[in-house]
Every structure is written in C-alpha cells, then in structure tokens.
Structure 1
Amino acid sequence: MKEQLLTNAKLVLADEVITGTLLIREGEIADIHTGVSSVPMAEDLDGEYLLPGLIELHTDNQEKYFTPRPKVDWPAHMAMATHDAQLVAAGITTSFDSVALGDIVGDSTRVEKLDAMINAIISSQEQGLNRAEHLLHLRCEVSFPGLMSLFERYVNQPLVKLVSVMDHAPGQRQFPPEAIGKYRDYYQIKYGLSDTELDRFVAEQQANSAQYADPFRRQICSMCHARDITIASHDDATLAHAQESAELGMRVAEFPTTLEAARASHELGLKVLMGAPNIVRGGSHSGNIAAKDLAAAGVLDILSSDYYPSALIQEAFLVAGLENDYDLAAAVRLVTANPAQAARLTDRGELKVGLRADLVQVNSHSVMPLVERVWSRGKRVF
C-alpha cells in the first residue's frame, strides 16, 4: 500500500484539535505533526476536520434491511451490503451489529430472522464484503424462557465481542411499576389485544421475569467473563441496578433511564452509553433522562447511533456546542476512543501513531457536519 499524506487538516486528537499533517503507511497512522506540509504528494484537506473512524457499539440498523416490509425477506448479503454502506457513509468504521436473543413474544420477526442475520454478518465479514468492520453484539432478553439455548449457540462465535443483558418485562427497568400503564397501552395497541388478553400477557411476562431474569443474567455474565467478552447492562434505573451491574463485572451501562443510575454507573467505573438520536432530537422518545442532561452532569461516556447511523457524527458537534464541559475533542471521544476502550479494541479509536488508519474527513458546514471521505485501515471506502 502506498503512503498517503493528508495535510492542512484540523486533526481531532485525544485531548486537543490541531492544524497538522497525518501520514498513512501500510494501513496504520505512521506520523502526525503540526503545520502544513509542502511535500508534492501531500493532499490538502482545506482545513476540514479529520477524526478517528467512528465506533458504534449498539445498532440494530440492519434489521430493517433484512425485513424491509412486513413478511418481506430480503437476500441476506444484499441486506448487509446496504446496512454496511449506510454506516460507512455516516463515518462508522467499526460496528457492533446488535442482534436480539429473545423477544417479548417468542415468534417475533427478530427471533425468526436471527440465524439468517447472524450468518450474514459473519459470512460477509469473513468474505471481505464489508467496508466497515462488523462485530457482533448479542442483546440478551433475560426474561425470555428460551434465551440460554440461543446464547449458547452463538457465544463462541469469534465476532462476538459485546453482550448486553436486559429485561423488558412490566415492572422492570424501562417499565418500573409506575409505568405499567404506559406498558399496557403500548403493547395493547402493538399486538391488538383485548383487555383480558392483555392481562394474561402482562402476567406471563412478569412470571417469566421472576423465574428467569436473575439466574440468566448471572449465568450469562459468568460465561462472558470466561471468554473475555465485554458485558453491558441495559435500562438501569436505580442505584441498586447500577451496583448490581458493577458487582457482575459489567463495563458499559446502556441507556440508563435516570440521572441517579447514570451517575452511579459512571462513578462505579461503567461507561455510560446513550443514544445519539436523543441528542439530535433534544431528549428521549420514551420520556427517560435526556442525554444532554447527562452531558451537563459530566457522566456521559459513549454515544450510539442506535437506529439512525448519521446521528453519530452530528452528536459530536452538537455536544460540543451545548452547555457542558465537553469540547470537540472530548465530544469526539464519545464515539471513538471511549467505545474502543470499553470494548477492549486497543488498535483504534484515536489519531495516534501505530493505530489503524480508520479516518473520517468532516466538513463543518453551517447547516450540519458533512462526512466527505472515510478510510478503513488506510483504504478509501467512501
């Protein structure tokens, strides 16, 4: 691979932004220095930003391409190619594609399409079809009776680098006792249930949670520790939830629903992850704590695009412009260095000599930041 020299760029380093020059050699960052190079081979970036490639820990963006409409199955590799292209165009060079092991109902599309989706992620990565690097994030619904058979089927796949545990039963986490009315309204409309059927549905979910959630959560954490897989909590709402997550050795707190849980998680050493759409929209669509409030409190560590890939680059610039202590370098760490550290990816996440040349060129347009070009391991992919 030929050397590439990118100059006159605003280089977003770990703790500062400098105008400088970056050298790529054999897919890695070989040199960084301040100032503009006059070497003939140098490519002038006209003062635009150069960021590390974005790292996405939690996205289910691929689901809509495998099933673009109800009862429509799309060819798996075509679905992955579309998903991959959208991520790369958003500046994401490492994606933890999240797949749901278990669901509120056992015969949902997520459950039915699970094998096809995971096989497509694995085979497209192995065959070199992807432009971003795709890894697997197993989302474990611990109140789902058949969870452990699904988990044991996939946990030994080499691409599995992140596992999260969640309980969406009424009365738990995202739906505490005071929010059961909201739970009932949502699922009654979603599944077209009568009042009697809804009562039976709620009772079944609560019984499953009481029977399975705690033993499954502990068993999964034990199996992940044995395999050195990063574990994330999900929808923690209380101090007790955060303490339990820390005691079980979790490294990430996904989408805490309250400031209390987020602050406790952060202080206990878990990286607090929130959705970038929450920042872009100005708050949570479900009425939980807003990500901007966690940034103001200094306890926001990671942002995820969740369901909207292009939100990730937007949030970095938005967070840096809000009233908090995050400058642009710190805001960019939310989508680069911090998720890399949480997922134990030591070869990427910063503009630093010796790391992968995963790069994003961004035009800070007056309307919104625009991704101009993207490199993965020094190869131009967008």
Structure 2
Amino acid sequence: MSAELIDGAVLILEDRVTTGSVRIEGGRITGIDVARDGASVIPGKGRILAPAFVDIHGDAFEHQLMPRPGVMVGTEAALLETDRQLAANGIATAYHALTLSWEPGLRSVETGWQVVRALEGLRHRLTADNLIQLRWETFCLEAEPLIAHVLAGPDRPALAFNDHTTAALLHPEIAVHDRPFDHVAEYPVTDLSANGFLDKMGERAKRSHMTTADFVALIARVWARRPEVPSHIERIAALARAHGAPMLSHDDSQVETRSFYRRLGAKVAEFPMHERVFLAAHAAGDPIVLGAPNAMRGGSHLGSPGAAQMIARGLCDILASDYYYPAILGAMVRLHADRVAPLAELWRLVSVNPARAMGLTDRGRIAPGQRADLVLLDWPQGHAPAPLRTWVSGRGGYSALPAERTPEYTT
C-alpha cells in the first residue's frame, strides 16, 4: 500500500483543531506534519480531516433488509448497500445492532442467522469494519446458539441486553421512562385485552406478518417465561465475559436496572431513559451512549433526555447513529453550531470514546501508530458538510470529489 500525505487540511485532533498534514502508510498514520518522503500528496487545503466515525449502535441496515413494511430483499445485497452507506457517511467501524427477538420476521433469530452468515461470507468484500452488536431481547431464549456462535467468532462482537417485552406489557398509567426494574416481583402489567394495547401490538404484528390476536397470544406465551429470564441472562453474560466481549444495557429506567447489568459486566449504559440513571452511570464511570439523531434534531422523539443537554452536563460520552447513519455528522454540525462544546471535544463522542468503550485502542484518533481511519470533509462555513473521502485502515473506502471548489472552512 503506497504512502499518502493529506496536506494542508484542518485537523481535528483529540485535544484541539489545527492546520497541518497527515501521512499514512501500511494502513497506519505514520506522522503529523512530517516530510513527504515519497508519499503521494492529496490536497487538503480548505477541507477538514477528522478521525472516521466509530458507530457502536446502528440499526439502519434494517431499512436495506426491509425497504418497505413486509418487503424483504436479499441479505447480501442489503449488507453490501449498507457498507456503501457507512463509507459514504464517514463511518469506518460499525456495530450493527442485530436485534434477536422472539418476534417472527425482521428481528427474528432466523433473520439474525441470515445476517451473521452473510457478513461472514462478505467479510473480504466489505469496506468498513462491519461488526455485530448482539442486541438480545432477554425473553428470547432461542437466541443462545446464535449468540454463542458469534461470540466465538474472529470479529469481537458486543452484547447489548434489551427487554422490550417487559416495556411492551407495562401498565399504561406508568410512563415507560418510569417503569420499574425489569425483574421486580410485582410488575405492573397492562390488560392484554385493552384497546390501547391491542392498537400498539397491531403495529408490531404487521412487522411480524401476524394478526393482532395471534401476536397478543404469542407475547402472552413469552411473558409466561418470565421466571426463567434472570438465570438465562446470567448464563449469557457469563458467556460474553468468557469471550471478552464488551456489554451494554439498553433503555435503563431505574438505577437498580443499571446496577443489575453492571454487576454482570455490562459497563456501558446505552440510551438511559431517566436522569437518575445518567447520574448513577456517570458516578460509576460507565460510558453513556445516546442517539446522534437526538442531537441532530434537538431532542429525542421518545421524550427521553436531550443529548445536547446531557453532553453539556458531562452526562453523555458517546453518540451512535441509532436509526440514521448521516446523523453522526449531522449531530456534529448541530452541536458545533449551538456551541455545546468545542469541536475537538464533540468529535471524541463519535470517534475515540466509542472506540475505547468497545476496547478498540487502535482507532478513533489522528495520532502516529493509529489505524488510518479518516474522513475528509467539505464543510463550507454556514453550510452542511459532506464527506469527500473516507479511509479505512488506509484503504480508499469512499471518494466523491466535487466538480468545483467550494468555500473553505475556517476555524
């Protein structure tokens, strides 16, 4: 792999923004502001060169698998298209949040196997690091063989504990962000025959190609498994610990919930739903993840705490694409424009912080010895930025140079 030197760009370093050059060779960054030394020069003046994004939770790949409700397409074609979208949005490392649920259809274990097998077969054709977050619905006991298979594989996955079953059955008088600890003895369950519940389950039934009545009967059978769930969680967590997989817990609403999963080794708090959980996670040193769409839009569509507010308070460490890959860059734009924090500090939320949370110490920073995971941005002052080039381990993952020069970015 020949050496390249990106010259004269505005560099987003871990602690500052400055102008300089970056030399890459053999998939690594070999120097900042060093001699050309035979490297081919890529003009960077007027552009921004930043660490490529590390996305630790993204499920937008589901839109490629099912582009319209109930319409599934070939898994390989969907994942190849996803890979192109990742690179085009400056994402070099992506953990696909692969939901493993008891629901038939898109989020079933069967679909999970298809995605896993396809990623294994496509490994050498993909541009970005396409990794897996095993987003395990804890009532889905059937997922254990797939989880064990992925954990034993060569690509170190992450494991996220989800309990959307308990949330779905919550009594409507209690807000979802105030729901009790998932395993409390007297959990307040809704009336399964209530019209409001039937309407809510009707939408999920469509996704599973079932009638509402059949879906409600299914969730009732799944709920009957509740006594088995805690021991199953313990077993899966032990398996993840044995393989050294990073673990997260999702949508925690109570401090007790966060403490339960932390004890099992899930040190990352993903999308906490209440301020008390943010405070408890921060006090314990747990990295806190929020959705980049929340930051880009200026608030959560679910009524959860706003990302910008939490970042300003030091209660958010990582932003993830969630359901929209362009949101990571979009979040940087909105937060920078709103002066929530300096740009170098904001960029840590989408690069070095998620890399460290996943144990990936070789990426996320522009520094000698790091992987050459970089994104070159065209970001005219006062306008939306666009990735021009993305490098993944020094490989050209994406290139879309405009026909004409645009106004330069100024620090």
TM-score w.r.t. structure 1 length?
0.89
Q: Distance in 2 between matches of 1:196 and 1:77?
A: 33
- Counterpart residue number, 2:201: 187
**How do 1:311-326 and structure 2 match up within 5 A?**
311-322=327-338, 324=340, 326=341
Q: Which moved more, 1:214-223 or 1:61-70?
A: 61-70
Contact 2:178 2:274 in 1 (8 A): no
Larger mean CA deviation between 225-234 and 136-145 belongs to 136-145
Amino acid at match of 1:33: D
Partner residue of 2:372? 357
Tell whether the 8 Å contact from 2:179 to 2:254 is kept in structure 1 after alignment: no
Q: 1:244 aligns with which of 256, 260, 274?
A: 260
Q: Secondary structure at the match of 2:119?
A: helix
CA distance in 1, matches of 2:322, 2:217: 31
* Percent identical: 29
Separation in 1, partners of 2:39, 2:221:
70
1:136-215 to structure 2, matched below 5 A, reads: 136-171=132-167, 176=179, 185-191=199-205, 203-208=220-225, 210-215=226-231
Distance 2:238 2:372 in 1: 35
**Paired position in structure 2 for 1:278:** 294
Q: Which residue of 2 is the match for residue 30 of structure 1?
A: 30
Match of 1:122 among 120, 123, 131: 120
Secondary structure, counterpart of 1:146 in structure 2: helix
Match of residue 401 from structure 2? none
Q: Structure 1: how far apart are the matches of 2:276 and 2:313?
A: 11
Deviations 1:109-148 (A, max 9, x none): 32132221111112111xx211111111111110224232
- In the alignment, the residues of structure 2 paired with residue 376 and residue 153 of structure 1 have an alpha-carbon distance, to the nearest angstrom, of 27
Aligned match of 2:402: none
**Cα distance in 2, alignment partners of residues 56 and 175 from structure 1:** 28
Q: CA RMSD in A?
A: 2.8
- Aligned partner letter, 1:259: E
Structure 1 residues 187 and 287: alpha-carbon distance in aligned structure 2, compared to 1, 3 A threshold: farther
Q: Following TM superposition, by how much is the alpha carbon of 1:216 offset from its aligned partner in structure 2, in angstroms?
A: 2.2
Compute the displacement of 1:204 (Å). 4.2
Match among 316, 334, 345 for residue 349 of structure 2: 334
Deviations 1:155-195 (A, max 9, x none): 31222420101111245776826896976642244437999
Q: Aligned partner of 1:229: which letter? A: A
Letter in 2 for 1:11: L
What stretches of structure 2 of length at least 5 have no aligned partner? 171-175, 181-187, 399-411
Q: Distance in 2 between matches of 1:163 and 1:57?
A: 11
Q: What is the DSSP-based 3-state SS (H/G/I as helix, E as strand, rest coil) of the residue aligned with 2:20?
A: strand
Decide whether aligned partners of structure 1 residues 201 and 327 sit closer, same or farther in structure 2, where only a CA change above 3 A counts. Answer: same
Could you tell me how far apart the structure 1 residues matched to 2:105 and 2:357 are?
Answer: 31
| Contact 1:170–1:183 (CA under 8 A) maintained in structure 2 | no
Q: Does the C-alpha gap of structure 1 residues 123 and 352 become closer, same or farther in structure 2, counting only changes over 3 Å?
A: same
Post-superposition Cα deviations, 1:230-267, rounded to whole Å, max 9, x if no partner, equal: 00011111111222222222121111111211221122
1:135·1:160 contact (CA, 8 Å) conserved in 2?
A: yes
Q: Specify whether residues 235 and 247 from structure 1 end up closer, same or farther in structure 2 by C-alpha distance, changes over 3 A only.
A: same
* Aligned counterparts, 1:93-132, within 5 A: 93-103=92-102, 105=103, 107-111=104-108, 112-125=110-123, 128-132=124-128
CA distance in 2, matches of 1:31, 1:183: 59
Seen in structure 2, the aligned counterparts of structure 1 residues 72 and 184 have a Cα distance that, compared at 3 Å, is closer
Look up the SS of the partner of 1:317 in the other structure: helix
Give how far 1:5 is off.
Answer: 1.1
Amino acid at match of 2:144: M
**Quick one: distance in 2 between partners of 1:119 and 1:292?**
38
Check conservation: 1:55, 1:340, Cα contact below 8 A.
yes
Contact residue 113 and residue 146 of structure 2 kept, 8 A: no
Q: Tell me, what secondary structure is at the counterpart of 2:98?
A: strand
C-alpha change, 1:31 and 1:73, in structure 2 (3 Å) is same
Gap change, CA 1:297 and 1:204, over 3 Å in 2: farther
SS in structure 2 at match of 1:137:
strand
Q: 1:82 to 1:240 in 2, by over 3 A?
A: same
Q: Aligned-pair distance for 1:96?
A: 1.1
Distance 1:88 1:206, change over 3 A: same
Partner of 2:41: 42
Is residue 237–residue 265 contact of structure 2 (8 Å, CA) maintained in 1? yes
What secondary structure is seen at the aligned counterpart in 2 of 1:274? strand
* Inter-CA distance 149–37: structure 2 relative to 1 (3 Å threshold): closer
CA distance in 1, matches of 2:21, 2:88: 23
Cross-structure match for 2:360:
345
Q: TM-score, normalised by structure 2?
A: 0.83
Q: Secondary structure at the match of 2:159?
A: strand
Instruction: Provide the C-alpha distance between the structure 1 equivalents of 2:330 and 2:189, rounded to a whole number of angstroms.
Output: 31
- The gaps in structure 1 that reach 5 residues or longer are none
Distance verdict in 2 for CA 1:200–1:273, change over 3 Å: same
Q: Any conservation in 2 of the 1:11–1:20 contact (CA below 8 Å)?
A: yes
